[in-house]
Amino acid sequence: MDVLNNEKRQKRLARNKESAKKSRNRKKHYQEFLENKVKMLTQEANSLRQQLYTKTEDLEMTPSQELDIKSKIDTISEKLLSACNQRKEHIRFIIEEVIDVMIPSHAKLLILACQNPNIECPELSNEQLNYIKELQPVIVQEQCKLKEVVTELRKVRNEFDGMLDWASELPQELMKFLSMDKVTELLNSDHQNNGFNS
């Protein structure tokens, strides 16, 4: 009987290790995807910065033209800010979903039970709690790895937030270097190419 229980335990441990390995691989691929996305957005941001310094021509305008252009800039700024905020919320949602997939609720319960062996968990039987105690070293090890992954994902999320914050302030930054009509022209072009209405 003990031999049979031991074999079952070994099989469960092997399945848990395989599951953890697959989880790490998924995390690695997703992290690489996010890093490439950050790299691409950084390049785009650098390209826009370069345009700031190269397009510095100024034109004289009548007060009505200036007012009209300022109104257009304000409209585009509002749409840009709204689009950036939507994208920030979307990125936050995706990353939190990834974290939830990597650490489902039952895994959180296992970690909690492992941290406090005396905890009362009506959801778990005594047999399950005893099994958790046996797996304690494995759970603790995987918990540390999961925390590292979660930290990295949230770091990537913060980097995206920073870039989108910078993008939402772009019209005001452009005004420091370019004339209002040039800012409008540049923003209208970028607005049409990137579909900020979405």
Average of per-residue pLDDT values in the chain: 71
pLDDT tens digits for 11-69? 777 887 888 788 888 888 888 888 888 888 888 877 776 766 555 444 456 777 777 77
Give pTM, 2 decimals. 0.39
In order of 12, 32, 152, the CA distances from 22 in angstroms are 15, 15, 18
| Backbone φ, ψ for residue 125 (5° rounding) | -80, 170
According to the model, what pLDDT value does residue 160 have?
Answer: 80
Q: Determine the average pLDDT of the residues in 108-115.
A: 60
Q: What is the CA 149 to chain-centroid distance, rounded?
A: 12
DSSP H or E segment with residue 89: helix 63-102
pLDDT digits (tens, 9 = 90+) for 152-175: 877 887 888 877 777 777 667 666
What is the SS3 assignment for 58? coil
